[in-house]
Every structure is written in structure tokens, then in C-alpha cells.
Amino acid sequence: MIITDFTKLENENYHSYIWRMDSLIKSGKYKNWTEITPFVNKELFKDDDTQYRDESAYRKAVKYARDFYEAGVFNRFGDEEYFKELQLQKRELEKAKVKLQTEKLEYSRWLREEARDELITEKICDAITSLSPVNIPDYIKPKHNSRGFVLVYGDEHFGVEYELKGLFGDIINSYSPEIFKRRMWHLLNQTIEIIQKENIDTLHVFNMGDFNDGILRVSQLMKLRYGVVDGTIEYANFISNWLNELTKYVRVKYQSVNGNHSELRMIGQPKNTFTEDNMGKIVSEFVKTRLKNNPNFSYIENPTGFIYAQVACNTILGIHGEVKNMKIAIDDFSRIYNVPIQYLLAGHLHHNKTEEIGINSEVINVGSIIGVDDYSLSLRKTANASAKLLVFEQTNGKICEYILKLN
């Protein structure tokens, strides 16, 4: 028995010491653990015999370790390539976890959108089926006319309620769903007068967007009488009846564009986040459904989402108006669609402006139904609530512009 064999080496821990002792037995230097256990206990625990262990405790522990060792497990863990493989597998597991979480989020979002769309559809279907059919007017036979006529209006911001006062308590402008309806009936009456004066049989009607106010800013919430869906249904029903009334006097070719306010954009979201989710689409479907049997009404849709028409051989494009420079925009649209646009119409700015840019070519901004509000007032910009009725000739382009004031 060589006592120094049992001396614990420097930097040797408990497990490596027991492993070395078992190696001495395996080499044949000592018979078994029974022979060396007293020396091992003495070296490890000194005189604290309460910590002493019997030979089986050491023998079994080393046996289990040696089984793993001989199976090559420890060799693999020492292999750099094996660690790389483990790290790669870990990354793959983490990616799979993130992918699963993302899929769950996407699925939840899809469920919310499906539920929202179904709710909107149900409300609209219920609203349409509960309405009495519109009175179908008598058919108006088209006549040959070298002139073309376009009624342009927009930016109704239906559902908003407010009152703006001046320095002496005078009302600069007030607005509500009731005022909106009064202004639209006033617009109808003025339009009928022009129809009769100009002997118009066919009228293009362009809606330039922003029929509602949406919820783009927190301040808007306090001014809305209706929720987005209920307000949309109320507006769509009114405008369907309004257009139907107009068709008693003239054939109507109706087009519209979606505005930024009618996007289903939540507060704080940047514009153009949900361009496909626009309540203007709901209004369009509502109008088409309500007036589908009206022989004097045509609903025209362009695949671009813009308004496009040939009026007395004049090419017209209508947009909501979120462009920085209308003169540059008309050239851009002409180049994009490979069509020489003569007249570019827009709303959005809430004031009237016409600028000639060439022979029989103009950029035209139309006023708004809502008129001045606190937002435009904060920008120090004011204008009358108004619409326009434009008259075109084949050879002379736009020859007349009626500004229909509605305050």
C-alpha cells in the first residue's frame, strides 16, 4: 500500500479524485474499493468520520460515470463540432418558438379582422334589408349634347358636430349630421336649377372622398356622434336617397374615390397603413345595392381606385388630393397611365382653387361640404362650404365653372 497514491492532487476536485482512485483499481494496483475506502475517506474527510462513506457509494458512482465515459459521451462533449451542433439546434428551437408565437399572433389578428369584417357585414346587411325600397324614377332618354357636365363634391366628414365662434361670439361655422343633410339638399336644389337652365340630360357626379371623419386623432373622438360603422350606414343610406332623388331630373354617372379619413386607421397609425380597409368601399356597395334597379343611375368603378372619365372628349382624372403639387401630379399620372390627362380634380384641401397649366388643361381643387373646422382654423385657412359644377365642350375644354356655396 503506497500512502502517497491517496494524496489528493493540486486542482483535483472530488469527482476527478474518485475517478483516479478507481483507475488504480482498474490497473490492478489495488484489488477493489473495499481495500482502499478507509484511505479515501481519511484523505477526503480527515477526522470527520460522520462524512465517511462505505465502498459501495464510491464504487457505484464511478461505475455510472464510467458507463457514460465508455459509451463515448464525454468524448462528444469535448468535441468542438458537437458544441456547434448543439448551438445550431438551440437556434433552430428558438426560431421555431418565435415562428410559433408569430403564427399565433397572426392567427389572433386574422380572427379579430374576420370578426370585425363579419360584424360590419352583418350590420350593413341588416341595415339594407330593413330599408324600404327606393322609388324608381321614370326613365330619362339620353340626348345628343356636345357639352358635358360634372358635379364635384366631397369632404363631407359626416358625423362630426362642432361650432366655431369668432371674436364677437358670431358663428364662423357649425356642423352636424343635420347641417350636412341641409347642405346636401341645398346642393341638390342648386344643381336642379342648373340642370334645367343648361338643359342637361346626363350628369357625371364625382365624390372626392372623406365622407366621414374617422378616428385619426384623439380630438376627433369628442366630436363624433356615431361610431364608424353606424355613421357609415347612416351616411350611405342618405347619399343613396340623395342620388336617387337627383335621378328624377337627370341621368347620373356616379364615381367616387376613398379618402384618408375613411381608412380604418386606429389612432396614432401612420396614413396608408390600411389602405385596403376603407369604409368608402362599404358606401360604394351600399349605393350600388340600393340603386341597382334605377334606370337613370350608373355606378362607374376604375381599377386604379381613382375617378376617370371622358367628358365631351376631355380626359379627367379625380383623386382625393393628398399630393404636394397638383401641377407635377398631373404630369406624373399622365406618364404612369400613358394617357394625356387634361384635367386633374381633387378635394382634401377644403377650399376652391383652379389653376390653368396649358391649353384646355387645369388642376382643380373643390371645396368641402363641411367647410372650415378647428383643424383648418389652426392652420389659418378658411373657406366656404361648397361644391362645383363644371361645364365642358369638345373643342374648348372647360368653359364654365359653377361654385355652389352651401353655408
Q: What is the CATH number of the domain that holds 228?
A: 3.60.21.10
Task: Specify the pLDDT at position 326.
Answer: 93
Do 404 and 191 form a contact (C-beta atoms < 8 A)?
Answer: yes
Higher pLDDT, 61 or 273: 61
96 within domain boundaries: no
| In a shared domain, residues 27 and 147 | no
Find the distance separating the first CA and the last CA of the chain, reported in whole Å: 116
**Domain end call among 51, 77, 103:** 77
Secondary structure (H, E, C), the chain: CCHHHHCCCCCCCHHHHHHHHHHHHHCCCCCCHHHHHHHHHHHHHCCCHHHCCCHHHHHHHHHHHHHHHHCCHHHHHCCHHHHHHHHHHHHHHHHHHHHHHHHHHHHHHHHHHHHHHHHHHHHHHHHHHHCCCCCCCCCCCCCCCCEEEEEEECCCCECECEEEECCCCCEEEEECHHHHHHHHHHHHHHHHHHHHHHCCCEEEEEECCCCECCCCCHHHHCCECCCHHHHHHHHHHHHHHHHHHHCCCCEEEEEECCCCCCECCCCCCCCCCCCCCEHHHHHHHHHHHHCCCCCCEEECCCCCCCEEEEECCEEEEEECCCCCCHHHHHHHHHHHHCCCCCEEEECCCCCCEEEEEECCEEEEECCECCCCCHHHHHCCCCCCEEEEEEEEECCCEEEEEEEEECC
Task: Specify the pLDDT at position 85.
Answer: 66
| In a shared domain, residues 28 and 157 | no
What mean pLDDT do residues 186-197 have? 98
* pLDDT above 70: percentage of residues in the chain: 83
| In a shared domain, residues 170 and 283 | yes
246 within domain boundaries: yes
How big is the chain, counted in residues?
407
Higher pLDDT, 350 or 274: 350
**Domain end call among 77, 93, 117:** 77
102 within domain boundaries: no
24 within domain boundaries: yes
93-102, 124-133, 271-280, 386-395: least confident range: 271-280
Residues 322-363 pLDDT 10s: 898 999 999 999 999 999 999 999 998 888 999 999 999 999
126 within domain boundaries: no
| In a shared domain, residues 371 and 265 | yes
Is residue 271 predicted with pLDDT exceeding 90? no
**Domain span at 15:** 3-77
Please state, rounded to an integer, the average pLDDT across all residues of the chain: 85
| In a shared domain, residues 167 and 60 | no
What mean pLDDT do residues 187-210 have? 96
| In a shared domain, residues 45 and 183 | no
Domain count, the chain: 2
11 within domain boundaries: yes
Confidence of residue 273 (pLDDT cuts 50, 70, 90): very low
| In a shared domain, residues 28 and 170 | no
Task: Specify the pLDDT at position 359.
Answer: 95
* Integer Cα distance of 244 and 296 in angstroms: 9
| In a shared domain, residues 296 and 392 | yes
pTM above 0.75, yes or no: no
| In a shared domain, residues 37 and 148 | no
| In a shared domain, residues 145 and 65 | no
Confidence of residue 206 (pLDDT cuts 50, 70, 90): very high
83 within domain boundaries: no
Task: Specify the pLDDT at position 392.
Answer: 98
| In a shared domain, residues 70 and 148 | no
* Integer Cα distance of 264 and 390 in angstroms: 32
Higher pLDDT, 281 or 111: 281
Residues 126-148 pLDDT 10s: 777 778 888 999 999 998 888 99
111 within domain boundaries: no
**Domain end call among 60, 77, 94:** 77
Confidence of residue 267 (pLDDT cuts 50, 70, 90): very low
Task: Specify the pLDDT at position 73.
Answer: 63
| In a shared domain, residues 51 and 153 | no
Is residue 111 predicted with pLDDT exceeding 60? yes
Residues 43-97 pLDDT 10s: 998 888 888 889 998 888 888 888 877 776 655 555 566 566 667 777 877 887 7
Is residue 263 predicted with pLDDT exceeding 60? no
Residues 213-260 pLDDT 10s: 765 444 444 455 567 778 888 999 999 999 999 999 999 999 999 865
